[in-house]
Amino acid sequence: MAVPPPWSPQLLQRASRVTTLIADVDGVLTDGRIVYAEYGDELKFFDVQDGAGLVFWHRAGLRSAIITARTSKLMKRRAKELRVDALIQGKLMKLPVYEQLLKKWRLSDEQVCVIGDDLMELPMLKRAGLAVCVPEAVEEVRLASHYVTKRPRGRGAVREVIEAVLKAKGLWDHILAQYS
């Protein structure tokens, strides 16, 4: 059996109820930099461990969504590769989208883990059963979060959360067994 993450009993209880992960992109799945190539193409840097974590998340039968204020062809491609259940782009006000997803998927707030870094995620974080942010998050987001990741933005923070939640739910051994 996998060792549970070094979280408090209250945090483990929150994590055990999670069935859906909602993440931001810039500053969470990426390091926050936006690079423009000479002809206007946008470049983003994604961590392969975050991607693998999302694959494990889906193999465990759990849902995921990405809600981002920006619109990017790269994000559409990455979300498709990772089989993200819902990609919503171009939404500066994220709470209405969050509420629509909960209604569509018949979820309660306590079933949702939100990972964010900036004020746009704050309303969702305040509602989520498990509110998580990266260490580089703005102060208001850090204060509203139940957990601040050890790993930095765009460098495995999402994977850290996924592993912790899967362990809290008793699903990590199932993932490990696929690779043993």
Q: How confident is the model at residue 147 (pLDDT cuts 50, 70, 90)?
A: very high
pLDDT band with cut points at 50, 70 and 90 for residue 3: low
The 10s digit of each residue's pLDDT in 94-106 is 999 999 999 999 9
Spatial neighbors of 25 by CB under 8 A, at least 6 apart, are 44, 66, 68, 70, 72, 75
The amino acid at residue 66 is I
Does domain 9-177 correspond to CATH entry 3.40.50.1000?
A: yes
H or E segment and range at residue 113: strand 112-116
The angle subtended at Cα 129 by Cα 124 and Cα 133, nearest 5°, is 60
> Which tens digit of pLDDT belongs to each residue from 30-75?
777 777 777 777 777 778 899 999 999 999 999 999 999 988 888 8
| Percentage above 70 pLDDT, the chain | 97
Domain ranges of the chain: 9-177
Average pLDDT over residues 164-170: 94
Amino acid at 165: V
Q: What is the pLDDT of residue 22?
A: 97
Strand pairing class (63-67; 86-88) = parallel
How far apart CA 35 and CA 138 sit, in angstroms, is 22
pLDDT, residue 159, reads 95
Contact criterion met (CB below 8 Å) for 112 and 102? yes
Neighbours of 55 (CB within 10 A): 14
pTM exceeds 0.85 for this model? yes
What pLDDT is recorded for position 4? 62
Judged by average pLDDT, the poorest of 51-65, 111-125, 166-180 is: 166-180
Which two three-digit tokens encode residue 100? 């629509």
Tell me the pLDDT of the chain averaged across its residues.
90
Average pLDDT over residues 145-155: 89
* Contact status, residue 178 vs residue 160, Cβ threshold 8 Å: no
